[in-house]
Amino acid sequence: MLGIDRRTAHAVWTALVILLGVWLVWLARNTIVLFALSLLFAYLLTPVLRLVHRFTPGRVSPEVSLAIVYLLLVALITSAGIAIGSRIGEEASNLASKLPALVQDPQWENHIPLPQWLEPHRASVVEFLRSEVLAGGRDIVPYLQRMAEQLVLGVRFVGYLVLVPVLAFFFLKDGERLLARLLGQLGHGPARTSVEEILADTDRVLGQYMRALVLQSLSAFLCYSLFLTSTGAPYAILLSAIAGPLEFLPVIGPLTAGVVTAFVTGIAGYPHVVWFVIFWLLLRGFQDYALVPFLLGAGIEMNPLLILFGVLAGEQVAGVAGMFFSVPIIAISTVIVGHLRKNGISPAPPAGVRTPPDSVE
């Protein structure tokens, strides 16, 4: 009819539907990120919820156990805010007021650690760094002003900090019921069994990953604070509080924390920058090759190059959110591909091509 091939029209229609779906997902990306963060936050609370439910009487409903978990969470956040919140705020205010002058002060360049083979050329190296830092120093004040404006405009997103735990509450309360209802639509058969296996492995992997991130973040905060405080570094608690959350951004986050800490303490006259660099390298070795593999176990096995590619690609696609979600997306994709291979699912042969029968021994 009208000279249009039916299969071609079907293919074009399918492509248009897929493009429409991608476009709708892109429009709703902020809401999707909000729900994804809520789901991951629910994974963090799941072990605590199980522990509380285990030690509460049998007549106590799961909803009451969930309420107890949230009360414990609020108490923990409040205690942490009282303990170190004022110290962080004081150091942040002090640094913000002194940073422009520190950057433009050339005296800190005399404390730059250089290898022995560069010591004869220290004057040339210092002169080069002085010109570069002074050129950057003229731009840092406008940059800080723009950052402050962005933070003020970002206050309207503070509501997300409230919505994430609220949505996580409903995920924990009704998640299993909703999942059972969705699986019920598949009936009984190999398809449902395969989906259940994929969901079970995904649940295990995401739970291990999120718990590992939290413990890794706490470990970084404690190690940074102990080392910087014991060696007399300025802004020790503030820099430790920055380094901890940056552990949630694979590869890029820890590197950024190390660079920021070395730069800020260096221009503030900290004499042990070289020792900090050594400490940072040892911490990365402990975190990446001892703590994280122990926490993850056999849950996630991904090539570091693949993780780095995912982080960089995620940053290009969705900024910080893309960097954060890159590893979970790669992990879920790995789980799905592994199950497809396990179940022997492969592309169907072209039409008209007969597959040879299985050999019989």
- What is the residue extent of each domain of the chain? 188-344
Mean pLDDT by 10 residues, the chain (361 residues): 67 83 80 84 84 74 81 81 78 76 62 61 63 50 46 52 83 82 76 80 84 89 94 90 88 86 82 88 87 68 74 78 82 82 57 44 38
Q: Measured between alpha carbons, how far is 334 from 61 in angstroms, rounded to an integer? A: 36
Q: Say what the pLDDT of residue 201 is.
A: 84
Neighbour count for residue 38 (Cβ, 10 Å): 20
Q: Measured between alpha carbons, how far is 140 from 163 in angstroms, rounded to an integer? A: 34
Residue (of 213, 171, 199) closest to 70 by Cα position: 171
Q: Measured between alpha carbons, how far is 273 from 309 in angstroms, rounded to an integer? A: 30
Amino acid letter, 323: M
Q: What is the CA radius of gyration of the chain?
A: 26
Q: Is 105 left (phi over 0), alpha (psi -120 to 50) or beta?
A: beta
